[in-house]
Amino acid sequence: MKKLWYRWTAVLLLGCLLAASVGCGGQKEAAGGDGKPVKIVFWYAVGGKVGDATKELVDEFNAQHPDIQVEAVFQGDYDTAVNKLKQAIPSKSTPNVMQVYDIGTRFMIDSKAVVPVQKWIDAEKFDVSKYEKNILAYYTVDDKLYSMPFNTSTPILYYNKTMFKEAGLDPENPPKTFDEVAADADKLTQRDASGKVTRPGMALAIYGWFFEQFLAEQNSFYADNGNGRDGMAQKAAFVSPQGERILDWWADMVKKGSTANMGRKTADTQKAFVAGQTAMTIDSTGVLGDVMDGVNGKFAVGTAYLPHPADAKDGGVIIGGASLWMLAGHSDAEEKASWEFIKFMTAAKQQAKWHIRTGYFPVTQEAYDDPSLKEYEAKYPQFKLAIEQLHNTPVNHSTQGALLGVFTQARQEIEGAIEQVLNGQADTHDALQKAADKIDSAIERYNQSVKK
């Protein structure tokens, strides 16, 4: 036993030495001016085929810009990347450009470690009029565009047209309101002789993002102070008739058996939909490509607007996804290079390619003029609807989305509340109130730590 122990220590020591020497090798060289290309570091947080598409765009940029060298580093998922940034800020080793998810916006601003892209838009009089206004609105805080939108998606209703026909429903007339969804889900549900559900009409993942979207559909706030857009949010605002209505509707369908509760993972509901085990689901536009590939012609896939209560007015969807942030504390040459890189990544040609490869929206309308995108739209007409939904959404504080420093936790608390209600462990009001209390104290702590 003892000998083994020494050997392990030796191995460990060796490992540490190795790690240390590798660490030295990766040191940054001083930025150019003497003919050498300016080196900038880009952190991104998307994997799989989206990550591949990102890398490809970076390679394209490097090939077209001999004077700039972008080093793209994958940092794990969005949460992990932000956690790494938290370590990097005090040790002054931040990247030049970083992809941060939508709900990290408040934290990024409060970190005081960023340069708003507005600075460069103003300096270059860069024209952003062709960028989607709904998307820009999300990342605009105090009239400044803080970060450049990059990958953007919204939720839509996916439905199985073939099953609609079988159930005697009009496949070209998908449900629009909460009541219509509930009624159609009922008709689409199949039961065996004993009344046990063999195929639920809908499968809906317990995902906090959906709750936020359903609130915005009703033009209702998630947090106070105008959804945190008029000033730092102090309290959660979703304990409202609008908030409760969402959970009541959801829980009622689950209780009846017409909607399946498959847990928190949208991947599971997506799988059920693709496998023909349910007729409807709600998911991000970002997975449309995967759904179409998975279904592969076995049935006709329909897409529809995100449902809303019948009397909801002036609402719409909030964009989700991520944007590109510029970090402060780097030389002017590097900042300029970062801006060039950001412009490139969000320009029409790249966004058209990005849209086709990943399913995220193009952030600029100019991308729709691209011939390859026109071809893609003809192949997947389902997508048009998602873009229409975005364009039909009025820009106001509720559809801009809430700004909250503790959004990750808030989402988790909401998901816990939904679970409790769906499992019949709490009534709607109590569950939401409990989540709100927790979020309130988290906000209070966050706001205090920002002051420190």
Partner 1 sequence: MQKKRVFPLGQGVLYLLPSLLLFGMFVFYPLLDSVKLSLSYVDLMGEAAGYAGWQYYREMLSSAQFWHSLGATLLFAVYTVFPGMFLSLVLACLANWKLRGIGIFRTLFAFPLSIAVAGASMIFMMLFNPSTGVLDYFLQLFPLPAVFWLSDPNWALFSIAIIAIWRSLGFNTIVLLSGLQSIPEPLYESAHVDGASPWRIFKDITLPMLSPTLFFVFIVSVINALQTFGEINILTQGGPVDATNVMVYAIYRDAFFNQNYSYASAESIVLFLLILGLTTLEFWAMERKVFYR
Cβ pair 405, 442 in contact under 8 A? no
The alpha carbon torsion through 295, 296, 300, 303 (nearest 10 deg) reads: 60
Pick 20 or 63: Cβ nearer partner 1: 20
Least gap, CB of 299 to partner 1 (angstroms): 16
H helix runs in 39-188, sequence order: 48-64, 78-88, 105-110, 118-124, 133-139, 161-166, 178-188
With a CB cutoff of 8 Å and minimum separation 6, the contacts of 344 are 57, 61, 64, 65, 350
AA identity, residue 246: I
Pick 352 or 435: Cβ nearer partner 1: 435
Pick 173 or 449: Cβ nearer partner 1: 449
Least gap, CB of 392 to partner 1 (angstroms): 33
Least gap, CB of 164 to partner 1 (angstroms): 20
Pick 190 or 423: Cβ nearer partner 1: 423
Pick 158 or 178: Cβ nearer partner 1: 158
Least gap, CB of 18 to partner 1 (angstroms): 14
Residue 296 CA to residue 412 CA, distance in Å, equals: 34
Least gap, CB of 19 to partner 1 (angstroms): 12
Residue 312 CA to residue 193 CA, distance in Å, equals: 39
Residue 268 CA to residue 164 CA, distance in Å, equals: 21
Cβ pair 201, 187 in contact under 8 A? yes
Pick 287 or 390: Cβ nearer partner 1: 287
Least gap, CB of 247 to partner 1 (angstroms): 14
Beta bridge pairs of residue 388: none
Pick 154 or 420: Cβ nearer partner 1: 420
Contact footprint for partner 1 (CB under 8 A): 5, 9-10, 12-13, 16, 79, 83, 86, 89-90, 107, 110-111, 206, 260-264, 268, 271-272, 275, 277, 406, 408-409, 412, 415-416, 419-420, 423, 425, 442, 445-446, 448-450, 452
Q: Which two tokens stand for residue 199?
A: 């195929």
